[in-house]
């Protein structure tokens, strides 16, 4: 005898970055996972409503954080842009997700990726440079390992490399309208060791590379960039 079991297809997520500045995000659950969500939302400039009857280690965040020290209630997502169901109770998380869907609010369930409207990747930040690794919520442990491997290859210097690339673009030394040319210039700088010279704090070496750019090139001073202190 066979039994037909309906298997829910795994969703295909679309990668994007959202501006959350000033937008209300509701986090239900103030445990370790909820606090990680809270920290990321604060960095993004969101307004946060945190709901938990027994949350600990809630950081002071001034007007950006509204802390409701009580259990979740239907209606708590009023006005939210995003919602996070981050408790260790599947029943509560399901209730949060149900309210979010009634209100048309995208929701993330920490205990059920396939039942989420969005998931969060593992992130590695280097200044304004962001590396994100995701696996559809199937193995967060593997994704964290891959993020850590990226960290071994892309150190803090890459934030400054991005600053240099952006400054060159602003000064039209790598023209906005000539994408192919722009890519080639950056490939040449990287192949010549730009990142390594930044990591070494070698200002003269970086300037020597920038001098090879068309029309006489430029210097770090011309770009308004200083190499970070603390590099070798």
In which band, very low, low, confident or very high, does the pLDDT at 228 lie, cut at 50, 70 and 90? confident
At residue 102, the pLDDT reads 98
Q: What is the pLDDT of residue 39?
A: 93
pLDDT at 179: 66
Q: Is the pLDDT of residue 2 over 60?
A: no
Give me the pLDDT at residue 169, please.
85
User: What does the pLDDT look like over 151-180, one tens digit per residue?
Assistant: 999 999 999 999 999 998 887 665 556 666
All structural domains of the chain with their residue ranges: 24-120, 121-153, 157-223
Mean pLDDT of 100-126: 95
Give the pLDDT confidence of 109-120 residue by residue, as tens digits.
999 988 999 999
How many Cβ atoms are within 10 Å of 224's Cβ, its own excluded? Answer: 10
pLDDT at 185 over 60: yes
Would the pLDDT of 57 be above 90? no
The CATH code of the domain at 24-120 is 3.40.50.720
Tens digits of residue pLDDT in 71-99: 999 999 999 999 999 999 999 999 999 99
């Amino acid at each position: 005898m066979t039994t037909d079991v309906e298997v829910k297809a795994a969703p295909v997520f679309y990668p994007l970055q959202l501006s959350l500045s000033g937008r209300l995000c509701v986090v239900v659950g103030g445990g370790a996972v909820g606090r990680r969500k809270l920290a990321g939302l604060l960095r993004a400039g969101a307004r946060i409503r945190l709901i938990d009857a027994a949350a600990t280690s809630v950081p002071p965040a001034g007007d950006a954080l509204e802390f409701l020290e009580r259990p979740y209630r239907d209606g708590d997502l009023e006005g939210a842009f995003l919602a996070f169901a981050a408790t260790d109770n599947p029943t509560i998380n399901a209730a949060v997700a149900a309210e979010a869907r009634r209100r048309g609010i995208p929701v993330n369930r920490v205990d059920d990726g396939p039942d989420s409207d969005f998931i969060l990747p593992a992130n590695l930040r280097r200044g304004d440079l962001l590396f994100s690794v995701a696996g559809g919520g199937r193995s967060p442990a593997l994704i964290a390992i891959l993020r850590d491997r990226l960290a071994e290859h892309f150190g803090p210097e890459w934030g400054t490399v991005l600053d240099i690339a952006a400054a060159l673009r602003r000064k039209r030394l790598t023209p906005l309208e000539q994408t192919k040319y722009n890519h080639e210039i950056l490939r040449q700088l990287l192949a010549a060791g730009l990142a390594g010279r930044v990591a070494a704090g070698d200002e003269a070496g970086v300037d020597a590379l920038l001098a090879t750019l068309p029309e006489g090139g430029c210097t770090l001073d011309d770009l308004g960039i200083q190499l970070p202190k603390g590099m070798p």
